[in-house]
Amino acid sequence: MSDSSIRIAALVCEGQTDVPVLREVLQTLWPKLEDVRILQPELDDTGRVRPGGRSGWSEVRTWCQQNKDDIDEILHPPVGDRIDLLLLAIDMDIAIEAGIADPPVL
């Protein structure tokens, strides 16, 4: 898939404050992006975490663990448009602590 073919992206991130920043990054990288679907955290119509909803890096991990066997169906649902790009995002401090990433060189 070429970058220009990305129409729908989905986002799994730590919290509601990550959503507008990551949405802007996605829309800057792919100006023809039609939709960014938020899979985690679950937000209400105002963009806030739903009452009783959970957020944080552990919820990103939980989402991945709970959906690992269903990822094909998430990306290619039986009804509706397919997801062209899935972005999983955790804060850098957690990634470094988990050994996932080295700190960026500034």
27-62 pLDDT tens trace:
999 999 999 998 988 776 766 666 666 777 888 889
Neighbours of 46 (CB within 10 A): 6
Task: Give the C-alpha separation, 105 to 28, whole Å.
Answer: 23
Residues 32/7, Cβ–Cβ less than 8 Å: yes
Residues 89/22, Cβ–Cβ less than 8 Å: yes
How many Cα neighbours within 13 Å face the side chain of 90?
A: 18
For residues 11-24, average pLDDT: 90
Q: Which tokens hold the place of 29?
A: 């990288």
Residues 53/41, Cβ–Cβ less than 8 Å: yes
Q: Where are the domains of the chain?
A: 3-97
Q: Which tokens hold the place of 32?
A: 């023809």
pLDDT at position 1 over 50: no
- Whether the ω angle into residue 41 lies within 30 degrees of 0, i.e. cis, is yes
Average pLDDT, the chain: 83
For residues 91-98, average pLDDT: 76
Band (25; pLDDT cuts 50, 70, 90): very high
